[in-house]
Amino acid sequence: MMNSQLQKLNHAPSFSLLPKSSIHTNYLIRHGSPSLINTLPRHPVRQNHNNKKNSSSCVVIRASSGEFGSSASVTTTSTENKSVSVKAVVTVQVTAGGFLSSLLTRPLDDFTDLLGKTLLLELVSAELDPKTGLEKDRIKGYARKASHNDDEVIYESNFTIPPDFGAVGAIEVENEHQNEIFIKTIDLQGFPNGSVNVPCDSWVHAKSDNPQKRIFFTNKSYIPSETPSGLKRLRELELENLRGNGQGERKTSDRIYDYDTYNDLGDPDSEDELARPVLGSKEHPYPRRCRTGRPRTQKDPLSETRSSSVYVPRDEAFEEVKQVTFSGKTLKSVLHALVPSLQTVLLDPDLGFPYFTAIDSLFNEGVTLPKPKTSGFFQTIIPRLVKTITDGGDDLLLFETPEIIDRDKFAWFRDEEFSRQTLAGLNPYSIELVTEWPLKSKLDPEIYGPPESLITTELVEKEIKGCMTVNEALKKKKVFILDYHDLYMPYVNKVREIGGTTLYGSRTLLFLTEDGTLRPLAIELTRPPVGDKPQWKQVFTPTWDATGCWLWRLAKAHVCAHDAGYHQLVIHWLRTHCATEPYIIAANRQLSAMHPIYRLLHPHFRYTMEINALARQSLVNAGGIIERCFSPAKYSMELSSVAYDQLWRFDTEALPADLIRRGMAVEDPTAEHGLKLTIEDYPFANDGLILWDAIKEWVGDYVNHYYPDPTLVESDTELQGWWTEVRTKGHADKKDEPWWPVLKTPENLIHILTTIIWVTAGHHAAVNFGQYMYAGYFPNKPTIARTNMPTEDPSEEFFKNFLKKPEFALLMCFPSQIQATTVMAVLDVLSNHSPDEEYIGDKLESSWAENPVINAAFERFNGNLKRLEGIIDERNTNLKLKNRVGAGVVPYELLKPISTPGVTGMGVPNSISI
């Protein structure tokens, strides 16, 4: 029997030559419990294959450090010295953008297929030649086209493998086509002990574009110290190829991962007003993004020129299902076609809605759009929203009613809903426990005025109706705050110099009632001194007089706009999209594709770099959607840099640490999840902690399997290189911070990986997929407040008009018609689940499937997530949980793991894919 597939694998080999009991025995020897190990037979295990003489394989288990010590190894011998015929089956995905795409080159590719010289495959032995110490000669062969259907093309090649070749560890591929192709898998069939799977899922460039062969490793995972000798050079070579040399402009076909600052947000060569500071420096700290190498602008040597497409490494681009059905092309089309069409209809960019029924008309009458040049264009890109009025007529943009308004048309108007959404809404990350009293700003009073808040003890005790003193309320953890004061204040006067928007520093105080719900107590809005005007601040409270009621509603609108900006720029963009890109770049530069940690993280990085590149093109760029439609305007990204500098720390991105930091939980070893929540009915935290624990258990099982000896973590050169590069290059502006976790033990690694996976999955899902549901009806979450409060330096005429028609003052404060409809269309796309979405715990990777220990751990993970779905369904019917159940209340489902395609308000994808 050949020993070609009885490999000296690391901790999770797929020994298909062995009976299942032998596989189990080997795992228990390496990692099992002593009690189980003691029950195992203490003699060599023999397996007779095919009942033929001279065809037996003997597996010898050798152990050091005791009879079944931790360094047990497996070796094989064979008495069969025969060559084996093997068929390679290559599955190529048919794509419109690559294979079979060009009418000019397709005849050449067809001719190449006809000649049988399509793909050159080279099988690489996992071991060096024991006689020479060199790599064994490759076994080469061309793959011929065998079959073709709508989705896939199958190529096949036959190889004869000599008995001394050993295990196949990798395949090198050369693409003889004129175009790139997308290879899904390569399967080697015909080995006596089963097929060998080589997962690819990658674009392979044409030889004419790049003569360098592509390297694909089998689905066996190895930490660096256990790399088979014949693969060590290729392992290092592939990482060198991915790192590049840091020179030149990147081409679309490249697979280079490197770092750069956010120096491509502005466009100073087009217009001086579009110049923006570089983010990623001592003055403006920021995470790094992927380097594109585009030339610098003429007016600003620090900034990079912009282009119609932004480079991302080839394998990071959207697959065609996502491009065609929804996200990539849809988002681009909304930004570059739908928005300009809206601008032609809504000619006045400052025109607001004249009355509330005009807002309602967006959902029942729609906005008539001029017919595009391409028939059916809008219906194709956003079929949910754009309808054809008549054949050959114009199109109609008809928004779907968000669930929150569909259930309760006046929910947005109510104080209790305003408070509830701080715990179960679009941004459940901002609410904090008040621990210091009185409230006081930390900003320089010489610049920003008196730091003391006007929310006084007397005012609070009046609002809580004398049921307790402020000190008692603080001691009982009853007082909470949304604090956007110090972050926004430095930008108030700058923003007010821009037309069509305004800004305040704000504080919103909330009180925890006996039934576990929150009640707003007060809103304080502050403007710093400007010119000869002193600081202005005023506190607004829920009152019973008409004027006070309308002032309170206007103050809430300003706070909602502050929250919307902070949510989008900090909680969503910075803490998920932006902070994750360095993890992806570092992983591809430092972790081999055969590294078990790379294979654990890879599903959680899918599409993130591509969606970030799209965001830099049209959303967060100078003059983009965020700047046009959110209160901070041109200072939006700069403000997110300040938040990164002052607030972002990796160690508090973990959900438990985040809750503790905000005073929303305290450590309690006796409590479920090891935490006691300050507000028991906190839907985001309640569901999130179950998801966090499930992720942590899965990661723990995985890490402990590959690192049974704690010293292996510290000695893993690739792993240490990855974590070092995350800190010193990806987050270079914070590289010297003392709070970075050390990476010395499996426990350190488990916590780091759990945090990253939580951010890419749970955190992002909680703050992304509810966007249309909560902000699609913009009065509930306006993204911009355009006018000052009527009581701030009002003219006599303005205040008189406010008293006469207060509704108009609120409508004028809300976004303009073009701002509102633009944001609504974009949020619809961003809240959408693609048909090809991959959800957490749902897909078993091939490298995990062949490993019984990892396979079993994944099944437990999958089971825990199904249990979470049931718990969420049950909680959403429990009338005692008033923050997620009630008349007209939208159930909290954002952390329910699985979703169907579309805008559903549920689903936790593996990655930040939109």
Q: Which residues are catalytic?
A: 572, 577, 764, 768, 914
- Rounded CA-CA distance 605/595 in Å is 15
Helical residues (DSSP H) of 726-763, grouped into ranges: 746-758
Two structure tokens written together for 490: 């430095």
Q: Are 841 and 697 in contact (CB under 8 A)?
A: no
- Rounded CA-CA distance 654/762 in Å is 11
Q: Are 600 and 702 in contact (CB under 8 A)?
A: yes
Half-sphere exposure of 373 (CA within 13 A, CB side): 1
CA distances from 703 to 7, 574, 609, 750 (A): 22, 28, 26, 7
The kind and range of the H/E element at 157 are strand 152-161
β strands within 162-208, DSSP E? 168-175, 181-189, 196-204
According to DSSP, residue 271 is labeled -
Radius of gyration of the chain (CA): 30
CA distances from 386 to 185, 329, 340, 367 (A): 39, 16, 15, 9
* Torsion angle of the four alpha carbons 538, 540, 545, 546, in this order, in degrees rounded to the nearest 10: 90
- Amino acid making up residue 473: A
Residue with tokens 């966007």: 771
Helical residues (DSSP H) of 382-517, grouped into ranges: 403-407, 415-424, 445-448, 457-463, 470-475, 485-496
Q: Are 688 and 762 in contact (CB under 8 A)?
A: yes
Give the contacts of 592 (CB within 8 A, at least 6 positions apart).
Answer: 217, 224, 235, 238, 239, 598, 718
Burial class (CB in 10 A: 0-12, 13-18, 19+), 390: exposed
- Rounded CA-CA distance 287/641 in Å is 9
- Rounded CA-CA distance 574/308 in Å is 23
